[in-house]
Structures are given as C-alpha cells and as structure tokens.
C-alpha cells in the first residue's frame, strides 16, 4: 500500500462522511496535499480543523511524511 493510500485510509477512518483527496504531486512519496471537506469542521477555526487532521494522522506526520499541505472546508 502506498503512502498516499495509507494517508487516505487514515483520514477516511477519522472523517468517514468527508470528501477526501490526497495527492503526491511531486511523485516523490514525501510531499503531499490533502483536501478534507466535512460537516465536522463546521464552526471550527482553520487551526482547530488542521489539529484534527494532524491528530488523525499521528505518527505518520512525524516519521514518514516530509510535507503535507492541508486544505480543510466545512460542507
């Protein structure tokens, strides 16, 4: 399973009703872009939304992912 697939799986587990897109635009397995759109973010600041994403990904961000550009939106 690729790291893109692992990131997508982790995010889907954390945000099951969300629309999720994870890309590796540089095709290097280290730099990723994630977009998460979910009602769960309604009323939360962007910082709070991003904290939820970081919590969902846990150690992957420390150990395997060099960079992750996060875009979050409430439905």
Range of the domain at 41: 3-73
pLDDT of residue 29: 87
Q: Cα torsion for 45, 14, 71, 3, to the nearest 10°?
A: 150
pLDDT one-digit tens code per residue, 5-64: 999 999 999 999 999 999 999 999 899 999 999 999 999 999 999 999 999 999 999 889
What's the CATH number where 31 sits? 3.30.300.90
Task: Tell me how many domains the chain contains.
Answer: 1
Read off the tokens for 22. Answer: 């994870």
Cβ neighbours around 36 below 10 Å, total: 24
Specify the pTM.
0.92
- What is the rounded distance in angstroms from the CA atom of residue 40 to the CA atom of residue 17? 9
Q: Cα torsion for 61, 50, 55, 68, to the nearest 10°?
A: -10
pLDDT of residue 75: 83
């Amino acid at each position: 399973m690729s790291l893109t697939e692992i990131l997508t799986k982790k995010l889907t587990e954390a945000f099951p009703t969300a629309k999720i897109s994870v890309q590796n635009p540089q095709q290097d397995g280290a730099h990723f872009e994630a977009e998460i759109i979910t009602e769960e973010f309604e009323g939360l600041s962007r910082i709070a939304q991003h904290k939820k994403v970081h919590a969902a990904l846990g150690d992957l961000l420390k150990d395997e992912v060099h960079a992750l550009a996060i875009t979050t939106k409430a439905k």
